[in-house]
A and B are shown apart, each in its own frame.
Chain A
Amino acid sequence: MNRSAKERFFIPLYSMRSSFYDHLHPPTIPAPQARLRYTLGMGGLGVFLTLVVGFTGILATFFYTPTPEQAAKSVQELTFLVPFGWLIRNLHYWSAQLLILVVVLHLLRVVFTGAYLPPRRLNYLLGLSLLVVCIFLDFTGYVLRWDEGVHWALVAGTNLVRSIPLVGAEVYRILVGGNQVGATTLIRFYAWHLFGLMLILLVIGVWHLFRVRRDGGIAVPPPDLRTTHERIKRKELSRREGLAMLWATFVLVLLALLVPAPLAPGIQAGTASAREYLAPWFFLWVQQLLKLGDPFIFGVLIPLGVLLVVALVPYITPGRLSPAELGRWFPLGGRNVQILMAVLAGLIILLTLLALLT
């Protein structure tokens, strides 16, 4: 085979796939890997929402001022005075909220289809850490509003850190940048939101996507155990993704039009005039737990315990689940972790509803 000089020069690159996009979109993939009823399209949607939240976030950065006096004002300025600023902010808000929802549904899909089996254990943990990073990104973004709507959750959330024995006070000091929530807290949350957490999200996110293909694509039975050998081409995969993005964009624009992202008057220094005594929706279950007693046990240990249990899913009796059962919902061999996960999800939903209703 004759190669051109250019091709010879780039042999190391060309010997791999020519781009990360092509890495994620091989020439063909088994058709069951791209069946909507199986995957729910949640992984792809997660990537799309991340891109939207990132792009709108970059635009918002041009207007946001991370000082206690100006933060809420600059959010109001973006929302009310910048042409299409309301659209940028609402899209940023809604894509961030939907991202958490999509990532959680993705996690549930993986658990309920047994897709965490080796060799996908590492990627399962990477995905779980992405959920944690997303939640922290959402919380830091929520705090950046610096208005009375977030005041209570900010104070309560950071005080939770204080309850950790031995290191609590020090971690709190590092987190908020002093003895109480103030200007340094805002700049630290800003830095985490724009830089620290984004960097982690980017590294783990790309790693996660890379591993998807490295682990053989979306979990389906090995070739010899498959019932169908139908494959779809790269173009078809891209077309489906394009369609999903179109629908997702429509839903985002519709939400941005109909339900504005929350806003409240800015936090006034030295006041405790919070207007809402509710945590952001993804922490409502923790808020409800906190009503039960000791903040360290109910606000720190139990949520961490839940995370640990979810992280251990691939390690709980994996031998029972055979690769032949992959590629469909609720395989019998994974019943134990399915029940465990359903109970955890049910409890979290129940606690969230209780927090909203009481």
Chain B
Amino acid sequence: MRRLLVLASLLLFVATGFVLYRQYRSPIPLGITPSLTGQAEYCLTCHADLLEISQSHPVETFGCVLCHGGEPLALSADLAHSTMRGGSNPSELMVVEASCGGEKCHSGSSQVDRDHIQRVSSSLQATYAGAITQMRYAFGAQPDLTAQMGIYAIDGLSEFDPSTETSPALQAFGSNCLFCHLSAEPLEGDEYSRWSGCPACHSPAPREDGTLVHKLTTSVAYTQCNKCHNRGNYSLSDMQFHPREDAPTDRLGDYYQPIAGFTRCEWTLDCVDCHTRHEAMGDGHVYNNKKEIQYIRCRTCHGTTDSLPLSYIITEENDLALRLAFLNPVLDLKVGDTILITDKGEPLWNIRVQVGDGLSTPLYELFSKATGQRFTFNPVMGSTCLQEPDQQESRYCHECHAIER
């Protein structure tokens, strides 16, 4: 009995030691109470080294749980992460409304252009309705080129289900060619690596070694766009996507399709320097193909021989241009500045008119959204250009201005 007593005491002593050790080793909880939720959360106990995702989402205001979901008080990874929305990507389109939505955030706002989620959800990049429409028309599944189906059903489109298509080509299209919409899982390889949903464009891609960068940005470099674009060709003969095998570095020489013509600004600037939010993210309407939504032309910035590009003077602090410049401060835009505007009314906030007194030739300065680099250019009006004002498609401009490749 004495032996049992000694043994039990010894074991209990050791077990108590382990209890103390475990308590000593457990992390010191690091909590914050974000002002938007008012609820304490302890995610930073483990994630204190994460970069703040953007200056528009300060952690002391938003915290982590408001966007990511999860269990705010749990310090075990399994439990804490068990209710996260979209895994490590809360802005996947299937869950983005719960994560980023709400009229004070990115959906449901009556203010112009603040309903990002509705716009993106109905955009061609998300629904892939353009390609689906073309294919279904080409293989006789629909009578015209009006968009009927998308990757998922939304108002105006039903869901494209390849298994219900009678044409084998469309079934093959369904299984082999749906890698490029915003919800698709990218192909393997660093050159394809990207998130799905909003961060497909707005976050750096996950790296090959598995590291993720906690960042949301409107400074989108052309390399981000090329995670999907210019990555290969679809072949109608075998109904396959043929990814390119090289890893191009020289943008002009081998990045783009060989037959295409490019002027200097098309390969020195980044895609988002010219292409607008409505073109990339949609304007809330369902379009039938890319041509219908992509409306930026050379003349948008350069004007024609008889007219200057459209511009306007910023008069209010709440002007969309100032809000966008705040998100990506590559220039010190302020009230009173004159900037260019598209013919659909979208401000080209990174292009400022420097001399616009109507007497001398105006000079425009463009700040690259990705690099901050400053470029200057002059309008067509007053130059030696002889292009007819009603012939403004890029092929006409390329006649003289395409660079030799």
Which residues of A are interface residues toward B (Cβ below 8 A)? 73, 76-77, 79-81, 83-84, 86-87, 239-240, 243, 246-247, 249-250, 253-254, 256-257, 263-266
A79 surroundings in chain B (CB, below 8 A): 74
Q: Which residue of B lies closest to A77 (CB)?
A: B73
Q: How many A-B residue pairs have CB under 8 A?
A: 63
Contact A80 B23 (CB under 8 A): no
Q: Which residue of B lies closest to A84 (CB)?
A: B23
Known: A80-B42, A265-B79, A265-B82. A243 touches B71 (CB 8 A): no
A73 surroundings in chain B (CB, below 8 A): 72-73
Shortest B13–chain A CB gap in Å is 9
- Does B9 have its Cβ within 8 Å of any Cβ on chain A? yes
- Does B213 have its Cβ within 8 Å of any Cβ on chain A? no
Shortest 5 CB-CB distances between A and B: which pairs? A80-B75, A76-B73, A246-B8, A253-B15, A265-B83
B11 surroundings in chain A (CB, below 8 A): 250
C-alpha spacing A333/B52, complex, angstroms: 77
Q: Which residue of A lies closest to B1 (CB)?
A: A243
B79's partner among A250, A254, A256, A263 (CB-CB below 8 A) is: A263
Residue contacts A-B, CB under 8 angstroms, 15 given: A73-B73, A76-B71, A76-B74, A81-B29, A81-B31, A81-B42, A84-B19, A243-B4, A243-B5, A246-B5, A250-B11, A257-B15, A263-B79, A265-B71, A265-B83
C-alpha spacing A204/B59, complex, angstroms: 55
Known: A81-B29, A83-B23, A253-B19. A76 touches B12 (CB 8 A): no
Interface string of B24-42 (1 = CB under 8 A from A): 0010010100000000001
C-alpha spacing A256/B31, complex, angstroms: 26
- Does B76 have its Cβ within 8 Å of any Cβ on chain A? yes
A250 surroundings in chain B (CB, below 8 A): 8, 11-12, 15
Shortest A93–chain B CB gap in Å is 15
Q: Which of B225-270 contact A (CB under 8 A)?
A: none
- Does B167 have its Cβ within 8 Å of any Cβ on chain A? no
Most chain B CB neighbours (cut-off 10 Å) among A83, A249, A250, A257: A250
Contact A264 B15 (CB under 8 A): no
Shortest A15–chain B CB gap in Å is 35
A263 surroundings in chain B (CB, below 8 A): 74, 76, 79
Shortest B25–chain A CB gap in Å is 12
Contact A243 B75 (CB under 8 A): no
Q: Which residue of A lies closest to B72 (CB)?
A: A73
Shortest B330–chain A CB gap in Å is 42
B74 surroundings in chain A (CB, below 8 A): 76, 79-80, 263
C-alpha spacing A254/B31, complex, angstroms: 30
Contact A80 B12 (CB under 8 A): no
A80's partner among B16, B18, B73 (CB-CB below 8 A) is: B73
Contact B73 A257 (CB under 8 A): no
Shortest B58–chain A CB gap in Å is 24
- Does B47 have its Cβ within 8 Å of any Cβ on chain A? no
- Does B291 have its Cβ within 8 Å of any Cβ on chain A? no
Shortest B257–chain A CB gap in Å is 48
Most chain A CB neighbours (cut-off 10 Å) among B8, B31, B75: B8
Contact B8 A243 (CB under 8 A): yes
C-alpha spacing A243/B4, complex, angstroms: 8
Contact A253 B73 (CB under 8 A): no
Shortest B259–chain A CB gap in Å is 53
C-alpha spacing A229/B74, complex, angstroms: 59
